[in-house]
């Protein structure tokens, strides 16, 4: 019975450790926008953002690739500066990409709501909603 308690204790410590690790990188990975402002983003869009270790951010806006840096402190978020390629695409795609990059740049806070990542401005207004994605 003592070994069962030891195993349960070790499992609890491991579980706590895993949850602590995930809490230190709450926005890591790849995210696909589902909503920018009040506009829904089609699921077939190529846009995504990747938050990597060491504060590196990269992704695809739907037409152009982008890259730069980000920093989190608690639920605060700072993105940028960002650089991007300068390809030309149809106007509708370019407009959505512009809104996507603007929302990233204006984000001041974030919140995890289930599988969603919500980016907000300084006043707490929602700028963009993203879902975790396997896009690489």
Q: What is the pLDDT of residues 64-82, one digit of tens each?
A: 999 999 999 999 999 999 9
Amino acid 135: pLDDT: 57
| Span of 18-27, 93-102, 123-132 with lowest mean pLDDT | 18-27
What mean pLDDT is reported for the chain?
83
Residue 112 lies in a domain: yes
CATH number at residue 74: 2.40.128.270
- Of the chain, the percentage scoring pLDDT greater than 70 comes to 79
Count of domains observed in the chain: 1
For residue 18, give the 3-state DSSP assignment: helix
| Sequence-distant (≥ 6) Cβ neighbours of residue 122 within 8 angstroms | 108, 109
pLDDT at 16 over 90: no
Residue 64 lies in a domain: yes
pLDDT at 20 over 70: no
């Amino acid at each position: 019975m003592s070994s069962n308690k030891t195993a349960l204790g070790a499992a609890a410590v491991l579980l706590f450790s895993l949850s602590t690790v995930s809490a230190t990188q709450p926005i890591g990975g790849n995210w696909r926008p589902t909503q920018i402002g009040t506009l829904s983003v089609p699921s077939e869009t190529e846009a995504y953002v990747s938050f990597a270790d060491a504060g590196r951010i990269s992704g695809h806006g739907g037409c152009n690739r982008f890259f730069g840096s980000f920093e989190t402190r608690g639920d605060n978020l700072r993105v940028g500066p960002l650089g991007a390629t300068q390809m030309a695409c149809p106007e509708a795609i370019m407009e959505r990409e512009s809104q996507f990059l603007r929302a990233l740049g204006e984000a001041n806070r974030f919140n995890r709501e289930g599988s969603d990542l919500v980016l907000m401005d300084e006043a707490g207004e929602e700028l963009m909603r993203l879902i975790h994605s396997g896009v690489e």
